[in-house]
Amino acid sequence: MSSTNRRTTGLRLFLDLDQQRDWIESNTTLHDADERSESLEHRFKYLARFQKLLLRPQAQEVLEILSLYGQSCIPIPRRTERDYWSVSCLPSTSDKPLVRVNASWMELFTLYANGEGIRSRFILHLSDFTADHSSARDRLDESLLEQCVTTPEDVGYFFPRGDDIFGVNVRGCASIRKFLATPHALRAIRTFNLTHMNRGRNAYQTSHCYSLADYMLAG
């Protein structure tokens, strides 16, 4: 192996920077693997949690949104499953999520119960939603953010620790769907996801739920 290959990490092993930029802008269709690499032992590890999720009133909406997210927001998802991204089912964290998608050491996307419906949390680059593309918090374009959902009341935001990062909370299946379909929001999601998938192997491989990933990879 050459020294150049040894230095290559993340999705640069599979996609060059031009391909990644084209995917962010929806200018290309990436060719994924035909089959998945799977551990049956690991699949059964989280089967009981998945079956528990299916009993929740939010189950159908969760699976529908995960399917959209997997098709739209993860590049070459079969080839990179578990190694570069993962999805957890009913993870045991204090905020009690229904599902969470991770890459590297970073949360990408989380779904929660909201009564009998759902709400979501996206982690994104702040500079994708500021008027001047800076990472200054006081430059956040709230009007742009509100245009990405069905009603302004469905969206909120917060600032986690770190540079050029913020969280977007979206309430309700209709607004989550619109956020995933709005070109500006979709570019922002793809950009952030690639940032962290390019940082190297996924740190949350052991919590990957293949039963949930089935829905994300069904498209």
pLDDT digits (tens, 9 = 90+) for 145-154: 999 999 999 9
pLDDT digits (tens, 9 = 90+) for 89-108: 999 999 999 999 999 999 99
∠ CA(123), CA(86), CA(111), 5° rounding?
50
Task: Name the token pair of 55.
Answer: 């009993």
Q: How far is residue 213 from each of residues 64, 85, 100, 140, measured CA to CA in Å? A: 12, 10, 11, 33
**Nearest Cα residue to 120 out of 77, 168, 56:** 168
At 1 the pLDDT is: 39
pTM summary value:
0.93
pLDDT digits (tens, 9 = 90+) for 5-15: 456 778 999 99
**Calpha distance 175→181 (Å, rounded):** 10
Mean pLDDT by 10 residues, the chain (219 residues): 57 94 95 84 92 97 97 95 96 95 97 97 97 92 97 96 94 98 98 96 95 90
- Strand, helix or coil at 155? strand
Secondary element (H or E) of residue 37:
none
Q: E-assigned strands of the chain?
A: 86-89, 99-103, 106-114, 117-124, 155-158, 166-171
At 7 the pLDDT is: 66
At 4 the pLDDT is: 44
Rg over CA atoms, the chain: 17
Question: Could you write out the DSSP letters of every residue in 67-111?
Answer: HHHHHHHSSSHHHHBTTTBEEEES--STT--SEEEEETTEEEEEE
**Calpha distance 89→91 (Å, rounded):** 5
Helix axes 183-197, 59-73, angle to 10 degrees: 80
